Structure 1
């Protein structure tokens, strides 16, 4: 410290110390109050027990657990219920599975999409002779799913487009979960509307092997997709369920929305990446209605794709979380959140410290010149008054005594010695004054 003080001067060391101390305090405050660590817990709204959505959530939970992140699963009535939970800030959920078409004019300013993860085809199984139009189901007993489910909401929209509405003679039956298949087989309902993707293969096998039960072919699929923009046209190829028995016996057209992984704005980027990694592992395999690697995909419908999801689809996980384990990457991210803003303040401050210190030293030394100029001017004005000259000499002694106490580092010695020389010059001028000869303005010339 003594060597540094000799080299730079005590004032500069003090200035730098103050800057470093202030930066350290600011950094600690940011570290304590600005918690940028990625959370270790996330909550997802799934669906009814045993549903496709609940199955997805369970798979996500296992994958996230490998990274030390706990996924809390909140059961729900289905897609519409998930959307309501996400829209309500009082409900503690972060993400959820939502089907296209659930918005219906609601406020979604606080919600973003992480992308589409699957198709959700609508399948209609029915009794009797073949039907070509949805309007053919008017006046029949229809099981359109539980209220609050994505199936219920979509089917009401489709039926309304075909002139079928509640209380027009069509009966909407709400069977107990698990009883719908038996109700159709026992002819207690005329048609069953259900949604599903890969998990529906066994169900389709069972129903299509049942005599007199058919799967509705959406012959107007292209029209539906163009009229309702969140729907997709899906094809069930001939024989794809049973090659030996050629089921189905012809290519069938289906329609259905995509399932989107919807999150609240503010979801930590690292958690967004982890969820999409899990979605990639769960949904990238091929299925009846999808190709390998087709999902997850940044298909934007009613919800905007989040900036973090867009970055993931373009370049993958962020560098830290791609390079380090989740916990370590999270800690590094938090440290960087402190270091970067402090560095932004500290670097220019340290660069400015020497210039500020030099200005301070020059000010301490050159400020005495004002007093010297004042003494010289008074000496010129009162050159004939010996008492005034004595007073000016005493003032000069005071200045010289004060200047002798100034301590400066060697590199500012020229300024200090120059000041002392000018004090001596003014003293000589005062002592050499004669009552008959006015003095000249010597200090200004010498100083210049």
Structure 2
């Protein structure tokens, strides 16, 4: 055991040159690898109590399980969310599909869609005695078209524009109201009709569905709208779907709606994409009243660029390491593995060189002594040792003593013993020459 430890010590000492080489390679690995993704992001959510905010709360709770902090930033609605993304005050935002078309090409290029989270139906509630067939019938009614810069007003305006009803043609009785204020005015009879956008489970939509003083009406000519507004989608709402007790709606209806899209700004770290999307999948895995389980998230609209990380997620799911390791560990491992591959390729020739270099270093300890023997042998041949025989004999005997202290691995002992014999042989030769010369005198 002692001999094994001795040989190991020699092996380590003979290859100490590897230490600075490995240190340099590891230092380069840490220098060139990108820093780990931040475990914090800001998400613009819209007004508190809205559908976006409710979804964001669930998403934040799910991300907390992975140690990720999602800061919710209230806003005035979808258009405000887009503005915050463009100016960099948030990294993420929930945006109603179609809103991105209000941006110029340069601004849109700075954004990327992560995915569609759910559909947002457009609901039209009217008073019980109001007769409604087509959107043109709303011209004579007291109507809430959604609060300024809201997603509700954007969808409403698009539908009205498709009917060639421009903002300049809006009657004075129409009001830019939305949310709970519009709901209260409709229930109290201060409005004849009001538009709302949000999930079927939204508390405000559920409240209106249970209110006997209002009724939910459907839209007609859905295909004509979809042909002109491709960012919208058809939604079929079965009888009693919103409220069975009050049978809302009282018959199957159809409506339109955009989709809630999670959009990332240019400051968003792409490596966070699978973490965010997997958390969204878990939040949405049970579906909703209108969306079957497991339907979302889905690929974002084509009007937005899609991050490669999002494309990978929709095609193959989570990256392999993140399926088995916590996000922080998997993310670091994934980033270092990419740069570790060229490092390993560089190490292969280095480790292959260990054996030959080790042999050379050990044998060098032995062979360097032959230099002295070679010099004496040449001097003997040339006859130039006449007055130096005693000094050379003393020198070689000193070398013999030093040689006894040389340490080599057991496998190289034969070469060391050969050197001992050769050294003793040369000493004996010099003694023989010295004796001959003394006898000649």
TM > 0.5: yes
Mapped contact 2:45–2:81 kept (Cα < 8 A): yes
Match of 1:96 in 2: 93
Distance change >3 Å, CA 224–CA 332, structure 1 → 2 = same
TM-superposed CA distance for 1:290, in Å, is 1.2
Q: 1:146 is matched with which residue?
A: 147
Match of 1:138, SS?
helix
3-state secondary structure, aligned to 2:258 = strand
Q: Which moved more, 1:131-140 or 1:201-210?
A: 201-210
How many Å separate the matches in 2 of 1:44 and 1:169? 34
Offset at residue 224 of structure 1 (A): 1.0
Residue 81 of structure 1: CA displacement?
A: 1.3
Structure 1 residue aligned with 2:186: 184
**Can you give the 5+ residue segments of structure 1 that lack an aligned partner in the other structure?**
357-409, 411-448
1:319 equivalent in structure 2: 320
Secondary structure in 2 matching 1:179: helix
In the alignment, structure 1 residue 214 sits paired with structure 2 residue 215: yes
Take 1:355 and 1:265, find their aligned partners in 2: how far apart are those partners? 52
- What's the secondary structure of 2:257's corresponding residue? strand
In 1, the alpha carbon distance for the partners of 2:229 and 2:185 equals 31
1:268-310 residue CA offsets vs partner (Å, 9 max, x unmatched) = 4552112112211222223222111111112533213322122
Q: Secondary structure at the match of 1:108?
A: helix
Q: CA deviation at 1:256?
A: 0.3
Separation (CA, whole Å) in 2 of partners of 1:42 and 1:297? 21
Equivalent in the alignment of 1:198: 200
In 2, Cα distance between the equivalents of 1:202 and 1:257? Answer: 18
1:339 Cα deviation after fit: 2.4
Check the 8 A contact 2:114/2:300 in 1, yes or no. no
2: distance between equivalents of 1:256 and 1:177? Answer: 17
Say whether residues 1:273 and 2:274 are aligned partners: yes
Q: Which residue of 2 aligns with 1:120?
A: 120
What residue number does 1:250 align with? 251
1:195-232 Cα offsets, whole Å, 9 max, x none, are 11132366345356433x33232111111112211100
Distance of aligned partners of 1:202 and 1:183 in 2 relative to their CA distance in 1, 3 Å threshold: closer
State the alpha-carbon separation in 2 of the partners of residues 278 and 121 from structure 1. 23
CA distance in 2, matches of 1:199, 1:100: 20
| 247-256 or 194-203, which deviates more | 194-203
Aligned ranges 1:241-390 → 2 under 5 Å = 241-243=242-244, 245-264=246-265, 267-347=268-348
Q: Normalising to structure 1: TM-score of the pair?
A: 0.69
Whole-Å Cα distance in 1 between the matches of residues 344 and 260 of structure 2?
44
- Note the alpha carbon deviations across 1:33-64, whole angstroms, 9 max, x for none: 63432322122111111111111111111111
Q: Distance in 2 between matches of 1:75 and 1:116?
A: 20
Offset of 1:65 from its aligned partner? Answer: 0.9
- State yes or no: 1:233 paired with 2:234: yes
User: What residue is the counterpart of 1:108 in the other structure?
Assistant: 108
Q: Give, in angstroms, the shift of residue 337 of structure 1.
A: 4.9
Could you say what secondary structure the match of 1:317 adopts?
coil
- How far apart in 2 are the matches of 1:170 and 1:344? 74
Measured after TM superposition, the shift of residue 116 of structure 1 is 0.9
Whole-angstrom CA distance in 2 between matches of 1:194 and 1:162 = 19
* 1:291-337 Cα deviation digits (max 9, x unpaired): 11111112533213322122112222112221112233234335435
Query: Corresponding residue for 1:44?
Result: 43
Q: Is the 8 A contact 1:235 1:251 kept in 2?
A: yes
| Structure 2 unaligned blocks of 5 or more | 1-5, 358-411, 413-441
The question of whether the paired residues in 1 share the 8 Å contact of 2:43 and 2:72 is answered with: yes
Aligned length: 353
Aligned to 2:428: none
Alignment partners' CA distance in 1, 2:219 and 2:176: 24
Assess if the C-alpha contact under 8 Å between 1:284 and 1:292 holds in 2.
yes
| Aligned alpha-carbon RMSD (Å) | 3.5
Q: Give the alignment of 1:21-100 within 5 angstroms.
A: 21-22=20-21, 24-32=23-31, 34-89=33-88, 91=89, 93-100=90-97
Contact 1:164 1:170 (C-alpha < 8 Å) held by counterparts: no
Q: Secondary structure of the equivalent of 2:99?
A: coil
SS at match of 2:180: coil
d(CA) in 2 for partners of 1:308 and 1:44? 19
Runs of 4+ displaced beyond 6 Å:
349-356
CA distance in 1 between partners of 2:311 and 2:230 (Å):
22
In structure 2, do the counterparts of structure 1 residues 206 and 98 end up closer, same or farther at CA, with 3 Å as the change threshold?
closer
